[in-house]
Amino acid sequence: MKNNNLEFRLQTVLTVREYQEKQLQSELFQINKAIEQESQVLSELNDEIESAIFEESTIVKARAEELQVSKAFIDILATKKDDHEHKIVDFEVKEKEKRDELVVKRQSKHMLQTLKNTHIEKVRKENDAKLQKVIDDFANRERRKIGE
């Protein structure tokens, strides 16, 4: 009974660890997806900035007001670009933290699985030894009966 209780507790802990690992994998997937989205936006902003700079350079006889608007637009795009670069860095930091956490959870789960398997093997050996003792006792009794 005591052996089964320990095995049950180990299995419960293993089940929890597996659930936690799946949660971390899901969070890591979401972070990777966010990084991809932010990178795409960043790429689009870079293209838009290059286009705006090119258009500004092609204006030969631009009025001062048009140049100020163009400069302000480029500044806004540059600010958005910086914001998205910071978001990507933040997501990459979160990704590293989640990866590290996932490694720890996997190691913990593996350790518990090994402990559970060791316990099961120990219980099996104890049961085999008990069964062998019963068989040996029975065989000895039978030999004594035959010898008498």
Tell me the pLDDT tens digit for each residue of 19-76.
Answer: 888 998 999 999 999 989 988 988 888 888 888 777 766 665 556 677 777 778 888 8
pTM, entire model: 0.59
The predicted pLDDT at position 139 comes to 86
- What are the tokens at 55? 């258009």
SS3 61: coil
Q: What is the pLDDT of residues 84-118, one digit of tens each?
A: 899 899 999 999 999 999 899 889 889 888 888 89
Q: How many CB atoms are closer than 10 A to CB 91?
A: 20
Distance between CA atoms of 94 and 32, rounded to whole angstroms?
A: 10
The predicted pLDDT at position 57 comes to 65
C-alpha distances (whole Å) from 112 to each of 9, 11, 71 are 10, 9, 61
> For the chain, how are helix, strand and coil distributed in percent, rounded to 5?
95, 0, 5
The predicted pLDDT at position 84 comes to 87
